[in-house]
Structure 1
Amino acid sequence: MTDQRFIIEMGMGNDLYGQDMTKAAASAIEDAIRHSSIPMFEALNISHDEMRVQVTVGVPDPAATDTEALKANLPRGRATVTAVQGGLSITNPDSGNVTTIATAAVEAFLPKQA
């Protein structure tokens, strides 16, 4: 059986001063899932363990992103987290402080239901 995507949520997050890719990505993931509630699991008697969660975060420096830490913070499902080139780094011309901006796509998949 192949999986079928049943939800995609998108979010944006940032780290205002530390240029911390993981912190910005975590904020983006939280933004993406903050308002999600999926009552179908109870309604259809489906275990959350059947759900595969695929997270893609866009950050300026993917290699500096702790995807395992991000994965550990996801509340449900069998998750994978991938960091790709994206997001933004914005430098304040007055102070030199750099703001890191990340984007996230959180996709959830289930086996096709009969």
Structure 2
Amino acid sequence: MQRFIIEMGMGNDQYGQDYTKAASRAIEDAIRHSSIPMFEAMGISHDDMEVRVTVGVQEPDAVDCAVLAEGLPRGRATVQAVLGGLNVVNPSNRNVTVIASAAVEAFLPKQG
């Protein structure tokens, strides 16, 4: 497989401390910036594409990677959560804002 795109995104959950929600927003941020007309132009099926997502959060075990993979719109997707992102504590009320980062990589079999 050959990587042909990588997009990065950031997302957060300000009040619920929901790591999956923050990760989902980071993934959405990354893919929202992509438009890849080559599939139609070259007659390549989206089913040929492998999508590998890595999300960074402070509590990787709290991320439901299966739910995130199901939400990706195209290709065969896998999602992995790793240590990263930030937890930012509001000093006045101790509320934790969860910040996630995401890298979305797309791969196709080598062409030509």
The equivalent residue for 1:50 is 48
The equivalent residue for 1:20 is 18
The equivalent residue for 1:76 is 74
The equivalent residue for 1:8 is 6
- Identical-pair percentage: 72
State TM-score, norm by structure 1: 0.97
Residue 57 of structure 2 is aligned to residue 59 of structure 1: yes
Please state whether the residue corresponding to 1:42 is helix, strand or coil: helix
Paired with 1:80 and 1:95, the residues of 2 have a C-alpha distance of 37
Offset at residue 18 of structure 1 (A): 1.1
Q: How many residues align?
A: 112
Paired with 1:20 and 1:60, the residues of 2 have a C-alpha distance of 11
RMSD, matched Cα: 0.4
Runs of 4+ in 1 over 6 A off after TM superposition: none
State TM-score, norm by structure 2: 0.99
The one-letter code matched in structure 1 to 2:34 is: S
Paired with 2:100 and 2:11, the residues of 1 have a C-alpha distance of 5
Paired with 2:34 and 2:43, the residues of 1 have a C-alpha distance of 18
Paired with 2:16 and 2:75, the residues of 1 have a C-alpha distance of 30
